[in-house]
Amino acid sequence: MRDLSKKIELDENLIYRVLMHFKKFGVDYAKSVGRDLEMNKRDICEILKKLFEMGYLEKRRSGMLKRKEARLKKRVTTHPLHTYYQLSEKGENFLKEKKWLNLANRNALFYI
């Protein structure tokens, strides 16, 4: 049986993967994110909650969402009981910083 008290460790790589999902698909909910990242729902719920508490994600009311905003949805309307998240400004800045660091590391290799 699975240990339910297992804590999820958030490293930069995991944060980057989750935030890139939201950058690519916009507004989404835990089950859909978990499917895309091949993680179980309980773990991804905990990760999204932590990222929300850290300020990387914002909650979005589901009553206002349409399929064009939540791109992975199969239905036109949203389920009112899901908690939807979207990238916050802090999350956008994290991705930009990560992108610049990767570019700087790649460019540094050319000068060696």
**Residue 73 included in any domain:** yes
**Residue 24: inside a domain, yes or no?**
yes
Residue 2 maps to a domain: no
Q: How confident is the model at residue 78 (pLDDT cuts 50, 70, 90)?
A: low
Q: How many domains does the chain have?
A: 1
What CATH number does the domain containing 70 carry? 1.10.10.10
pLDDT of residue 60: 84
Per-residue model confidence (pLDDT) at position 46: 95
Q: Is residue 40 part of a domain?
A: yes
Question: Does the residue 33 lie in any domain?
Answer: yes
Please check whether residue 28 is in contact with residue 22, taking contact to mean a CB–CB distance below 8 angstroms. yes
For 10-52, what is each residue's pLDDT tens digit? 888 999 999 999 999 888 889 889 999 999 999 999 999 999 9
Q: Which of 4-13, 25-34, 55-64, 73-82 has the lowest mean pLDDT?
A: 73-82
The boundaries of the domain holding residue 24 are 12-110
- Domain presence at residue 96: yes
Instruction: Compute the distance between CA of residue 65 and CA of residue 80 in angstroms, rounded to an integer.
Output: 10
Whether residue 74 is contained in a domain is answered as: yes
Instruction: In whole angstroms, give the CA distance from residue 14 to residue 55.
Output: 15
Q: Which residue has the higher pLDDT, 79 or 1?
A: 79
Mean pLDDT, the chain, whole residue set: 79
Q: Indicate if the pLDDT at residue 66 is higher than 80.
A: no
pLDDT at 73: 53
pLDDT at 79 over 90: no
Query: Is residue 37 a contact partner of residue 21, using CB atoms and an 8 Å limit?
Result: yes
